[in-house]
Amino acid sequence: MSTSPPLVDGVLVINLDERQDRWQGFLEQVSARLSPLVPTRLPAVKGIALPGFGQKPWFHGRKRDRTWAGRAGCTLSHRSAIAKASEKGWKRVLILEDDIELAPDFETVLGALPRVLDSEKWDICYLGYTDPIGPFRERATLPQGYRLDQLYGCNTTHAYLVNQSAYRFLLDRLPTESTVWHWLTRNRAIDRWYARTLSGHLIVLAVSQSIINQKNDISDITGRGNEQQHLNAISRNALSVLPYRLVKAWRHGLFWLEGCYDAARGWIKRRRGF
């Protein structure tokens, strides 16, 4: 497979230190099909090891404490990946989690992406996702019936490209170790924040359908199951027939209202804990 010009300057794979089995499994099952892209392991942040976990005011020994810790670790791991790409001066980075599997058409579609993305304006491009949120509009066609679509957002963070144009926006808004618990009281999880926030400031694209999926397993980072019971494609029937900007503004307004509710709920969590 030829990828000239190169798709990205680096591939970062988030993996917990104690899960070398997953890293080895990733290398055995995925790395050859990524060629000529070379994956680099990025140590994941372990949420239960973060300062403040299990302590008041954030935690009161409730049953979902470890879920919130997983969300914190996931958020900080992705911020770490973006920070590393920025520090190295990479123009683009592919961020992956270690529990992925590649679709049969992965190599064919990936080989066409550099040319297409070089001709488009974009900041984030999902290669894998679930539950896409409209409005949607087609931006380019890809081999084997795939498309590159613009969308408002989607869930999951297991496989996405970040353009250097988005680094500063993300690093300024994603939390650090000292602010992550406060950040989560309002935003709950990084994929939820991405879905509701990015399109208001950045251009978000996605390959339809996903060419990278999550395995049907429990995530080491979030502790949640990947049941594969979610949509991982954008239906052609869902492409916006109304003016895209009009529908986008409507969606933005809905999320703004939900954000007011999130702010109130966050205020309560900061006083009562998760």
Residue 3 lies in a domain: no
Residue 120 belongs to some domain of the structure: yes
206: which strand partners? 126, 149
CATH number for the domain including 242?
Answer: 3.90.550
Domain boundaries, position 160: 10-272
pLDDT of residue 72: 98
245 domain-assigned: yes
pLDDT tens, 192-235? 999 999 999 999 999 999 999 998 766 665 556 555 556 788 88
pLDDT in tens, 62-79: 999 999 999 999 999 999
Q: Number of folded domains in the chain?
A: 1
Q: Tell if the pTM clears 0.75, that is, is over it.
A: yes
3-class DSSP state of 213: strand
**Is residue 259 a part of any domain in this protein?**
yes
CA dist 149 and 146 (Å) reads 10
